[in-house]
Structure 1
Amino acid sequence: MMVSNKAESDIGYVRDLVKKSERRPTPTSIYLLWAGIVLFGFAMVDFFPRQTGYYWMIMGPLGGLVSGLLGRRDSESRGQLNREIGIRHALHWGALLVLTGFVIVLAVTDHIAGDEIGRVILLIVTFGWWTAGVHFDRVFLWLGGLMALGFVGTLIFPIYVWTSLGVTLAIALTVIALRKGRSDVAETH
């Protein structure tokens, strides 16, 4: 009888771990962090274009670092810390940062026009978010698609397209976070 109770307890423990592992891999806090970062960063292109580069030079790497810490904390809290996945994330998002730096070098050395730097970086970030959807979290496929539409918008619309894209992405990220938060709460009850 005691062996049966122990087996049931072990099976229940494993079932709970599997249920936790089926949650969307990106923590809610990361979606909300980037909702704020992109909202202000994209709007700056329309309202404070000269300060936009400084904003992203600080917030891009800082947001990446904070995202990594939030992801690690979430994985630890679920008991699913995986060094290999952490390294893959660091390589993926780190490559995005390095490629953005190369675009800046192209602009500084007059290989691309300075006023086109935002569009080129948007293309790189779009590809980064899209491939994050392929490899990490399917939600980023939709977000990468939104960014791609925003890129097309920058070619067509002369004003406030960057702000519109920032607002759209911020709303999408917030809605995803709220929906994910509700599903996480429902799973724990």
Structure 2
Amino acid sequence: MLSAQSSAGYRRRFEPGRPRMDKVFDASQRLSISMGEMLGLLRALTESAQKKETLIIAGDTAGLEAVLQEEAETASEFKQKEKELRYRADGLRRAAGLDGKNVKLKEICGLAGDAAWRERLTGAADDLAAALERLARQNGKLKALLKQRIGYADYMLNFLHAPDDRFSSYNMLGGKEGSPESFSLLDCHV
């Protein structure tokens, strides 16, 4: 038989309008697992971006192709895990009784049942944000490197391509070669 005090505590914890702590705990665990998996995939994508940078600098196109294939698979898995993470975060939000769809992940992490889980999930959210920032920085470096490589390739192609009106070669008398109306240097001075 329950005492009046313990039954009041039971009613207070499991009232229909209040979240059930067991559901919040389960949702917190699932979210923590999803966040850990996402963090691992972000690290793999960052390592892949670093490998790409090294291979681009070295000019190793065969190695770059293999890394790009591996990265495509990781990116596909990342996309699936991102959907799962959103689903798990929404599950914790619902289990905690919070309304609204546009709630930030860090706010959802603050809904975990006890302080240890809140701290753990908030730390994982911070780790995810830091990993995303590292990946964005690495991708920015790759973008700049590729632009530089493309610019150099364009320069060399334009240099090797047939000359246009801007670039001319001159004959021994100072006139443009290949043009019917060649002017000599003396004509320009007069």
TM-score normalised by length of structure 1? 0.35
Structure with the higher fraction of residues in helix conformation: 1
Higher Cα Rg: structure 1 or 2? Answer: 2
